Structure 1
């Protein structure tokens, strides 16, 4: 804390007393803030708690940097008009060269960028959710650039504020830039842009087995899982995907996308006939083994389980048909 002894010594040395309205004819105006002022570091300076008006650029910079109090051992403090006046006199400014206006006392407190970031993120999540009719708890926004927050510290940390997100045509997933209008407690509005990482918790369809090209999707071929999505894509609607034909091979545990399927539904399922040669995909741990040219010992449709003969070992096992000439088992083949 700056020692008040310095100001007392100055008063004694100057041997003067100034009534509250004596410094009214100065050219430089120091306008104290009406509300609590945030301070980014541990030293309160004139520029933290006041606006310097009618000064040259060099004067403004010099006055704004004049130190008033330390917050090293405290979270907040009060600064009086008299304290600001004494600091200007100590810096060499003549009494009739400045005018201090505003409240008799202004409070200063150490600000926290982390608190401001958290509050902004919550407000933006709520605003984005409202725009797209999504529950705010399913939206997660992380502001990634601290310097963008620093410019708002003095404007916003002192009181309540609201944000209005500039409308978007589509939900912004992944790395993006959000443009917002910020309204502070005094009704002042600021336009600002933030670099952000946006994710959305949503229900997606995940293939529960390998799906061959040409396979007609059935409900038992996928499962619904809640995932935090951080990349924009055209995720398949499970209700619309069922009955459509796969346009490509889809690996097990892949998220189903709209472009994985033909746009029209198939009117019938592909079948496997007795003695057809089929490939069998066997899931082993996190990998897959493909047994080629196994023989179907019975006919079946997609989704049904049939008996398969391994011609290399002359052993039989059961497998589920997932496409034309393609079947799968989820574990080691069962011997017969």
Structure 2
């Protein structure tokens, strides 16, 4: 029987999963996602080489039910493999984890303490660990971190202009989307070896968005910082903002801190600028001037920060696009590139995101001896 790895990404309203054979090549055995948990959930899943399962689900109130449904679906579609481990996407690894790690009680306690740094993601990521462990007590659990790819930044790129005592207490630039960037670096090594050794800016553009400056496949700089709020404007997050604006909201406009936090994380970005939606497909199809403004703003800010990443690298050999917007919104890519036309020529590529494959690769390479 084939030993297999479950790769899990538990989000705020979704559970995404893939099953890989724990062997060289990491054959994909099954995968899918349960979406819209709590409001008309649906499943889209398939076994490799088989028919897809599509459609609405009975009322799925919470992640507890969603994880149960996922595991039941995997049991009923098992074609001769046995789950021995589960790898969990965890957004924030803090300054402790520079690579994937086994998730014991001490690790989970530390990661729970990082929740204020990733309030939209960390609680759901960690809930997935507990939910699967309760239903499959024999599995080993591992955490794969979005911050790990950036963990070896030089001080010039991981500091804020604050006193040392605050850096020592964790106020520093961590960076995110590292699993996506790790996959892009892998793809470059496999398919574009010359570029892999060069100066590359990778653009992970989706509802969450960031850039990463890579030299020789390693992260040098990135646009996100201590939290996933810094950097580019995103679907509902503001991106870079004068910290004084937050003081003004609280002191002069009378906002509670929780209200200001919700505004910056959930009501800003493309959604806030357009007043319509955080969905780029909706905005591209809209005739509303505010929709056009939001997209123009987004493209300009991406281009400006691509140029900043090129400064960190001392040049630019290629710009990579990935993520939902980066892969699918050609008008946005063209607009970004038009802003950068003044630069010396550079290559530009679209590479499909595959964070799950990056996680599976890291687990196979790092923990094969204990799993096989």
> TM-score scaled by structure 2?
0.16
- As a proportion of its length, which structure holds more strand? 1
- As a proportion of its length, which structure holds more helix? 2
Q: Whose RCO is larger (CA < 8 A, sep 6+)?
A: 2
> TM-score scaled by structure 1?
0.18
Give the structure with higher Rg (CA): 1
